[in-house]
Amino acid sequence: MDDCIFCKIVRGDIPCRKVYDDGELLAFHDIHPAAKVHFMLIPKTHMDSLLEAEDSHAPLLGRMLVLAPRLAREQGLNNGFRTVINTGKGGGQEVFHLHIHIIGDDVSPVVG
Ligand code: AMP
Ligand code: ZN
């Protein structure tokens, strides 16, 4: 998707503050954080929203949900966090590349 801002981030055409990167998934801090910690987890392959989800996406979506708490803990959110997936215009989605927001203010202090 040439015009998709998150595809541009995946390609490296737009910079991001990276949280996590593998062959399939990318996580980066939200440019307008709504809390002390606020980052996005996205599939590298473009998909508009959860409205397009099919059975074949189950492993990818499952990986995203399993990865979210690991990354949240790495960002200091040891006591929990919010996950938000805005879906479609009716769900308030603004960037039409599927993403999970991971958001939290209860950040554990770094020990040592
Ligand atoms: P939504 O589509 O409503 O779930 O939210 C889109 C989110 O993407 C908003 O929280 C924006 O702050 C965030 N956002 C937009 N552009 C960028 C960017 N270049 N880097 C990081 N986050 C972004
Ligand atoms: Zn995209």
CATH of the domain at 30: 3.30.428.10
110 in a domain, yes or no? no
The pLDDT assigned to 2 comes to 84
Closest ligand to C-alpha of residue 30 is 1
**Residue of 38, 40, 50 best suited for mutating to test ligand 1, as the one with most atoms within 8 Å of CB:** 40
| Segment 29-40, tens digit of pLDDT | 999 999 999 999
For residue 48, name the pLDDT band (cuts at 50, 70, 90): very high
Q: What is the mean pLDDT of residues 72-97?
A: 98
Does residue 99 carry a catalytic annotation?
yes
For residue 112, name the pLDDT band (cuts at 50, 70, 90): low
Q: ∠ at Cα 44 (86, 83), nearest 5°?
A: 30
Q: ∠ at Cα 27 (97, 29), nearest 5°?
A: 95
**Residue of 13, 16, 32, 49 best suited for mutating to test ligand 1, as the one with most atoms within 8 Å of CB:** 32
| Segment 2-36, tens digit of pLDDT | 899 999 999 999 999 999 999 999 999 999 999 99
18 in a domain, yes or no? yes
The pLDDT assigned to 111 comes to 63
Percent pLDDT > 90 in the chain is 95
Which residues line the pocket of ligand 1, CB cutoff 6 A? 5, 14, 16, 28, 30-32, 86, 92-95
> The tokens of 70 are what?
């690991």
Ligand 1 atom with least separation from CA of 29: 21
111 in a domain, yes or no? no
Question: pTM for this structure?
Answer: 0.96
The pLDDT assigned to 74 comes to 97
3-class state of residue 56 by DSSP: helix
Q: What is the mean pLDDT of residues 79-83?
A: 97
Q: Who's near 21: CB < 8 A, 6+ residues apart?
A: 27
Q: What is the mean pLDDT of residues 73-102?
A: 98
Q: Residue 18 belongs to what domain range?
A: 5-104
Element spanning 70, H or E: helix 58-74
Task: Domain count for the chain, please give it.
Answer: 1
